Amino acid sequence: MTSVVGKSVRIDQLFAGGPTRSFEFFPPKSSDELVTLSSTLHDLEALSPSFVSVTYRGGRESRQRTFDLVTDIQRDGHLVTMAHLICVGHRRAEMREILENYQSAGVANVMALGGDIPEEPDLVASDFTHAIDLVELALEIGNFSIGVAAHPLGHPRSVDLASDRRHLAAKLELAHFAVTQFFFELRDWTNLVGELDELGVTKPVLPGIMPVTTLSGVARMAHMGAAVPPSLIERLENAQYAGGASAVRAEGVAAAIELCQQLLDAGAPGLHFYTLNRSTATREIHEALYGSDGVRRP
């Protein structure tokens, strides 16, 4: 395995320095997507994020694309990286090899996820049932800083919200921090953190941020388990009536800025931006929050 030199910094050690700022990307599948991502990385690297993460959808090709992108960023040496991993469809020996390869490359952070259940599960062998199984293996193998997923409105497959919170609390007993699915109201995050606190868990829960920039995006986000509140839909519809698509986009970004400000005021340990490999909206939000010098605006 080729040695990779880069920033081998644990994310859980960054929180002591104040709220973090992080960006999430997905591996490109084509040369055009690679060009777009390269431009986005160049733009967002200038904002000095605390770390960046790279998603993984499962399958050998996706696994290699994720590894290549993570190690390319790691090798560049300017950014702290976090690699996403999923337990669905993996044998224990295979996952051990993946983790050991990341460890050898100097990647200090992994995001342990359950992953989507395949349509034909009998065709995909797996030694893991839940994300917590992957957390345990990562702790066994190396000195990783481990993140897990949190769903403010509850995981779509959860029986109820109480069982969802107990499951998340169990993961956070072992993992070091959580990153939430995107959401749109402050109370979604404060309720989640408060419920975890009642279960004795106080580890950092990073809110996930994704602005709604089109009305068609409302339905897509609801399908992903993040219902857009009626008040925000009304704002977007009013913007559409007043100024069309550009006004909708501006209103969606403005709403995201407001939410970020509320979260930071409420003590959020950082902000995690789902970029979709695009930089414009993220840069606009970042500029409103931090200006050009990276110092938070009141």
**Separation between Cα atoms, residue 174 and residue 172, nearest integer Å:** 5
Pick from 77, 82, 48, 78: nearest CA to 66: 82
- Burial of residue 9 (CB within 10 Å: 0-12, 13-18, 19+) is middle
Residues 6+ apart with CB under 8 A from 93: none
Is 100 a residue of the active site? no
Catalytic residues: 24
